Chain A
Amino acid sequence: MMKVWVVYPLRVAFASVPAALIVSALAITFLPPSVSFWVSGAVSAFSAFLFVAYAWGRHAGGLLVAPAIALLFCMNIFPLLWSFGLSFFHYRANRLAPPRFAGLHYYEKVLSDPVVWDRLQVTAKMVVLTVSLQMVIGFLLAMLFAKQFPLRRVLLILVLTPMMLSFVAVGAFFRYYYEPTFGLVSQAVRVFTGEPYVLLQSAAGATAGIVFADAWMWSPFVMLLVLAGLVSVPKYLYEAASIDRISHWRRFWSITFPYVRSLLMLALLFRTIEAFKLFDVVFLLTEGGPGTSTETIAVYVYRVSFQYFKTSESAALAYILLFTVIVLTNLYLYFANKRNRT
């Protein structure tokens, strides 16, 4: 910490406020507007700087993060708590009626609703399919990119691109990709069958389309994590193994894999949580159809809350999901840690 910040007391900073005001007033009175704008801006910035510098010198980190905390509270923490409160009241966001206390009514309703269980099953199916596809493809890509070959850097950037695209862009892209009349998939199938192919019209096709799009977007993420593990294996271990005449298969399982395992578990956790919330791609590609065959729980929550405006019910459902994810995550971490220790 630089000592220069603590050379002045706090009253200097406070004194700078009226000084800045006076200077600004004088500037506005006597100078043309285009000049006084910059003068008053500069003196107020300097005054603010004195406060920040003082806080910095006094290790008053709290003061410095206060704006961020305030923003976080307004935008995030408060709405979270508020919606939690609403889940215990009768309330619809499109009516003016004040909330009436409902107790656990909505929780009971959600948990006994067969539709919810159906949507959860759809979600589970999606999660299993997309996460396992991502893990396999991501792992294979990482194995590939752990080697050195020409154009590796360029290809790596290309492979990482989907992850950085916005969901809407990916959704729009795959919509065109699956489009029956001129989409690439349909045209490719037409070469063989002579008929346009509508992938998203069957439940299985729609599921496959969504899973493929999601895996396309997120396999690079798994690859990045696995690659980090692969490149962290010290080279001398492979050299020692080759002198010990160890087969490639055994080398992979006892040297490489242990370095990747914990990262693989982490990737699995991240991707499962994310896939559980699968919304964007589904909404953009199928909107849950055909029928409700691809309507994940996240899409269902959206419908309940913003199409049927059952605000309390959707809040209750959302909190049940949050609770489920937290419990599952902690169980997973508990078993993962236990396994690592032994």
Chain B
Amino acid sequence: MNSHHPDTLTLMEFSAGNLTEPHALCIRLHLDQCADCRSRVDTLDSLGAVMMENQPQTEMSSGMFDSILSKIDSDDTDAEREVSTAAKAGKRASALQKLLGDDLNGLPWKRQLGDVSVLDISDRFPGQNEQVVLQKLVAGGKAPSHTHRGEETTIVLQGAFADQKGVFNQWDFVVLNQEDNHRPVAVGCEDCITLSVLSAPVKLTGTFSRMLNPFIR
């Protein structure tokens, strides 16, 4: 059971299809584990359906339905069946597996300060402007104190961390901004791995202020 959820307004932007891919990924990973937020998204999707229904009418070109029929008639039925049986069996790899494989700990981490390692995966989202970063804090480790210049959306992929605001467990979702100056500590016996989407670089506030890229850029 998660205790830190996306804001309902963010879920609405997700349901409307307005979030960037990295942000949508953070929401998706949370939704996959959180029935309460899934149920909220269901209602929001219904809101989308009702909004679509309430719009002015448009005219369709004549012959359009026939061209749809000829398209479905020329469909490759094998490919069609494949899609649906794979879906039914739930065999699709999750977005996370597709992006990072099965072994988060075995990724080519780059050691930063003491307890912190990072891996920039922005290039997995071609055409996006945001920075997407994985961060790892060794079990029991501390990250340097820092604040955030822009907005940073984070989801915990493994382990847990704690700061002044509480404990963030696996699949918890948190948004940090300029007002948040924190010093996260990895709690529990596992390394804590997070996925963060950054709209602007992080500003260091403590003794490490001259160094770049600590636990969260």
Q: Do A and B bind each other?
A: no
